Amino acid sequence: MKLFQILIISFLILVNSISMAFCQDITLSWDPSPTPEVDGYKVYYKQDNMDFPFDGTGAAEGTSPVDVGNVLSTTLTGLSDGVTYFFSVTAYDNNEAESSYSNIVSNSWLPSLAIPTDRATNEPVPVTFRWETAPSDYDVTYTLYYGTDQNEVSNANVIFIAPPVSGNKNIPSFAIIILVTLFLLRMAYRFPPKLKHSRQTISFLLVVLLGGFLTACGGGGGGGDSATDRSAASPTESVLYSVNKGSSDYHQAYDLEASTTYFWKVVATDTQDPNLTYESEVRQFTTEDF
């Protein structure tokens, strides 16, 4: 059956959420699909996370998906109060062929992606990424992720690095080695003059030992693979970039290849609690041939 095209993507809107006596009613609205064969719409929902499948339960109207017929707005009632839900809509025709999912919305704020539009083609480089800023009562910073592998982008997370413990001033190991070597050299030169040959031999061995330690400590620098800025070593290898944007709501990327499909998302991180994050959906676009 034909998977017909639908253009309600990015136009699903959460109209309101009303909580009463341990439950909440959530009203959704969406733009009509321009496809003339549309026979109705299905509302998908899920609690706690935005990973597919959207197989939520608890609404009085039924488990996900809820077939709401050929309407452009509906209310799901009886959902648990204090729980975050995620919603998406599809359209279907009289042969039960179903469209792709619309954008995802939530009764809790999530960064909404503005441009590039989802599945945009011939996107000119540099590409400008832009997203919705948080409401005024949110204090967050933004991290932009984009790359050529959908799974890598979807699974990319903001890494929280704890600040160093104050007052913990450890002496580097190589400094300890130098101090011990100098001490032993000094002790060697305290040998009686008649042991001059032994003294010189010990000094030589200590210097060689020190050189070996310093070479071992200084070597092996490099290597590793940074998730924040990784370039492909070959045309078939994926790339993943992350950019910390602070409070900014846009970024211009000059480092994109021609005729290449990229995936992107934005993660907002609470400035007071770095473990509290708000993650957007993942979108894709293809750059122009230049």
pLDDT tens for 64-85 read 999 999 999 999 999 998 888 9
Q: Single out the residue of 56, 63, 53, 64 nearest to residue 84, CA to CA.
A: 56
**What per-residue confidence (pLDDT) applies to 72?**
92
CATH code for the structural domain at 1-108: 2.60.40.10
Where do the structural domains in the chain lie, given as residue ranges? Answer: 1-108
CA dihedral 55, 90, 88, 134 (to 10 degrees): 170
**Least confident range of 4-13, 223-232, 261-270:** 223-232
- Evaluated on CA atoms 225, 228, 229, 231, the torsion sign reads positive
The pLDDT confidence band at residue 202, using thresholds 50, 70 and 90, is low
